[in-house]
Structures are given as C-alpha cells and as structure tokens.
C-alpha cells in the first residue's frame, strides 16, 4: 500500500476538472428527458420495493402496533418512543453486541482470513487433495440452511452429539455453555467458500511476472503477499468484506440452531427482532428495531463503498504511468 500510496500523492487533484463540453458529459447522446424515461422504470421498481417499505417501516415504528389485542385494531402514534426505548433496552444492546461479535468473529476474522488462506494454498496445487477440499468447502456453502442447522444441532447435541462422541466428553452442552462460540465456528464453516472462491479468482489476476520479479529480487512469501499480491487484490478484499459482513449481520440461520437461547445469550439482532415482532407480537417496536438495523446496514455499506471509491480513484491515477508503481514496489523489495 505504502508503495502505491506514495507514488500517487503528487498527482492527487491534478486531473483537470475544468469545464467539459456538453456532449462529453452526455456520452449516450440521449438528452436529459429521454435519459430520464430510460431510468424511470428502474427507479419506479426501486421506489416500490425499497423506498416505500423503508418508509412504511419508519411509520410502523412510530406506533404501538401489535399482532394481537386492541393495538392490532387501533394502534396509537407514539413518536420516537420506540427508538428511545430501544436505546435503553438491555435486550437490544445485548443483541447489538452479540451481532458485532458474530460479524467480527465469523465474517471478518474467520471467513475472510480462512478463505484467503485456502485460496492461497490452492493457488498452484492440483490433484485429489485440492479437489476433495474444494468440494467439501463448497458443500458447506450450497446446502440449504435448514439441513445444515439440523446437522449442527445433531453434531453439538448434549446427549448424543457427534462432537461429544469424538472428544469423549459426554454431556458437554456446547450450544448452552458456549452458544456464541458455537455459532461463530458454525458460520466460518458455512461461509468460507464464498471468500475462497472470490480470492481464488482475484489471485488469478495477479500478474505472474510481478511475482516472479519480486521473487528474483529476493522477496520472501510474506513480502510478496504484502507488496505484490495485496495491492493487486485490494478491491476484491473490500468487496468481499462488504458482502460477507452485511450477510452475516443479517443472517437468520443462528435462529435455526439456538433460537436465540439460552436466555438470549445468542440472540443476534435479526433473531431479536424476530422474537420481538413475531414472537411476542410487538410489531411496532419490531419495526423501529428494523429501522435501526437498516441504518446500521447503510453505515457499514457507505464506509466500505467510500474505501472502495478511494481505491478506484487511486487506480485511475495509477493507470497513467503503469510502470511507475510496479517499479516503486520492486525497488522496495531490493531495499529490504
């Protein structure tokens, strides 16, 4: 990173932002009105299925609407009470913390690093071991959630679980004593395939000549990773992190395994919202929680997209003198 970063600094902001001719901005030559007509159907679908439900959630979240009882017929407007209640609700804060643990533990640390390690290991290998490993990892990814949940319950069960039989620890209640740890391990197992595939594709894009140059210059594996491979796949890393952290954040499979228990110790945010809105029928409060969850999703997405945008800008600048960055990298290797 440092290698490319230093090379771009002098050029930052140097691209001429001066007035362009109108036809340059309007690449398709449609004109504003026709362009609008082109995007209108798309915008309409987005409005209908994305914006309206979000606004509807916001509205429901400001009522005491319930699934049963009198408020089901005659909900009262309560304003921001649901939101303020949520911020003081131990159950909500607890579930937020557990979700953070789940995302950082299983997605960012587990799947991203595990997926990269697998992809790196498989990069230049062929043969039966690779094929078996790849199919096993893929199998974990493609099996339906309900099947997988059943398998893991059977695996970790207290009375006749496979894990207890393997470890000779009869009666160890994994799902009750270590519910979050169990879920994190489960989710790493479940989702690593995606990171592995994405990184495999990305590693294929790292030019062999760069790696060879680095090797000839005497760079060790770690240095190659840091100075050649990582700069080349940075965009893939960010995209992967964005996707898997949002998926994990919204993942409902934990419910199938622990149902949020015991005593809410594995109640991640989606499970907590489900229990609140449908389990105990507090639809209004559940909608307010969903809105908060939507906001968190947006914040995470915006942070990643900005990082990705900055990276693209750098690439565009890098493209101008293509040899420059590489050279800088190679020089560093020599220095080291």
Partner 1 sequence: MAGVPRRTALAVLGAGAVGLTGCGTPLDPREDAGGIALTVAVNAISGGKNSEEAEWISEWVIPRFVRAQRARGVDVRVDFAPSGLDDEQYKTKLALDLKARAAPDVMALDGIWLGEFAEAEYIRPLRDVVGGDFAEWPGWRQIDRRVQALARFEGRLYGIPAGTDARLLFYHKPLFRRAGLPEEWKPRSWAEILDAARRLKRLPGVVPLQINAGTPMGEATTMQGVLPLLTGAGGAVAKGDRWYGDTPALRAVLDFYRRVYRGGLGDPKLQQEAKGRDKSFAAFADGRLGILAEGDYFWRDVVAPRTGTSPMPHRDREVGYTLFPARAPGEALGGRDHVSLSGGGVHVLNPHTRHPQQAFELLTALHSAAALRAQLDGTAKITERDDVNAAVLDRDPMLRFAADDAMAVTVFRPPLAAYTEVSSALQEATAQVVSGTAPKRAAAAYGRRLQEVLGGSDRIVD
Q: For CA atoms 303, 305, 309, 312, give the dihedral sign.
A: positive
CA dist list (Å): 243 to 175, 228, 280, 316: 27, 24, 31, 24
121: contact with partner 1 by CB under 8 A: no
Instruction: Taking each helix axis as running N to C, give the angle between helix 90-102 and helix 179-204, from 0 to 180 degrees, rounded to the nearest 10.
Output: 40
Q: Is 279 in the site for partner 1 (CB under 8 A)?
A: yes
Task: Indicate whether 301 belongs to the interface with partner 1 (CB under 8 A).
Answer: no
- Three-state DSSP at 124 gives coil
**Using CA atoms, how far apart are residues 243 and 5, in angstroms rounded to an integer?**
25
Is residue 324 within 8 A of residue 331, CB to CB? The reply is: no
CB of 188 to partner 1, least distance (A): 22
The reply on whether position 272 binds partner 1 by CB under 8 A is no
- Residue 75 Cβ vs partner 1, minimum distance, rounded to whole Å: 5
The full DSSP string for 55-94 is HHHHHHTTB---SSSHHHHSPPB-TTHHHHHHHT-HHHHH
- Scanning 140-148, 222-230, 279-287, 292-300 for contacts with partner 1 by CB under 8 A, the matching segment is 279-287
**130, 134, 151, 158: which one binds partner 1 (CB under 8 A):** 158
In the complex, minimum distance from the CB of residue 218 to partner 1, in angstroms, rounded to a whole number: 57
Cα distance between residue 117 and residue 71, in whole Å = 53
| Residue 84 binds partner 1, judged by CB under 8 A | no
- Using the rule CB under 8 A, give the single segment among 123-131, 212-220, 275-283, 305-313 that binds partner 1: 275-283
Concatenating the DSSP letter of every residue in 180-225 gives HHHHHHHHHHHHHHHHHHHHHHHHHTS-HHHHHHHHHTT--HHHHI
Q: Identify the residue among 54, 57, 75, 297 touching partner 1 (CB under 8 A).
A: 75
Give the x/- contact pattern for partner 1 in 229-258, rule: CB under 8 A. Answer: -----------------------------x
Nearest distance in Å: CB 40, partner 1: 19
With binding defined as CB under 8 A, does residue 69 bind partner 1?
A: yes
**281 forms part of the interface with partner 1 (CB under 8 A):** yes
Which DSSP category does 20 fall into? P
Paired residues of 63 in beta bridges = 77
Interface contacts to partner 1, rule CB under 8 A: 56, 60, 63, 65-70, 72-77, 158-159, 173, 175-176, 258-259, 261-263, 278-281
């Amino acid at each position: 990173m440092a290698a490319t970063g230093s090379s771009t600094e002098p050029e930052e902001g140097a691209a001429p932002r001066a007035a362009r001719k109108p036809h340059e901005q309007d690449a398709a030559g449609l004109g504003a009105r026709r362009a609008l007509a082109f995007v209108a159907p798309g915008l309409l679908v987005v409005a209908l299925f994305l914006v309206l439900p979000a606004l509807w959630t916001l509205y429901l979240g400001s009522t005491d609407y319930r699934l049963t009882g009198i408020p089901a017929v005659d909900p009262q407007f309560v304003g921001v009470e649901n939101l303020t209640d949520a911020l003081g609700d131990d159950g909500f804060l607890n579930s937020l913390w557990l979700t953070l643990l789940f995302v950082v533990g299983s997605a960012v640390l587990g799947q991203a690093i595990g997926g990269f390690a697998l992809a790196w290991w498989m990069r230049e290998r062929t043969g039966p071991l690779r094929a078996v490993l790849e199919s096993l990892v893929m199998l974990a990814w493609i099996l339906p959630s309900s099947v997988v949940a059943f398998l893991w319950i059977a695996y970790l069960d207290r009375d006749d679980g496979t894990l207890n039989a393997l470890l000779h620890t009869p009666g160890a209640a994994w799902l009750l004593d270590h519910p979050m740890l169990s879920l994190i391990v489960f989710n790493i197992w479940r989702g690593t395939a995606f990171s592995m595939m994405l990184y495999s594709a990305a590693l294929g894009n790292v030019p062999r000549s760069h790696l060879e140059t680095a090797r000839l210059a005497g760079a060790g594996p770690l240095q190659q990773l840091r100075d050649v491979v990582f700069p080349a796949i940075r965009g893939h890393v960010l995209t992967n992190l964005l996707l898997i952290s949002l998926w994990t954040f919204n993942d409902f499979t934990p419910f199938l395994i622990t149902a949020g228990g015991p005593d809410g110790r594995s109640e991640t945010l989606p499970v907590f919202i489900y229990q609140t809105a449908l389990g105990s029928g507090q639809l209004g409060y559940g909608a307010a929680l969903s809105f908060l969850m939507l906001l968190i999703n947006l914040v995470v997405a915006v942070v990643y997209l900005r990082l990705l945008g900055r990276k693209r800008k750098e690439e565009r600048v890098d493209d101008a003198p293509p040899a420059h960055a590489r050279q800088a990298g190679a020089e560093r290797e020599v220095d080291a």
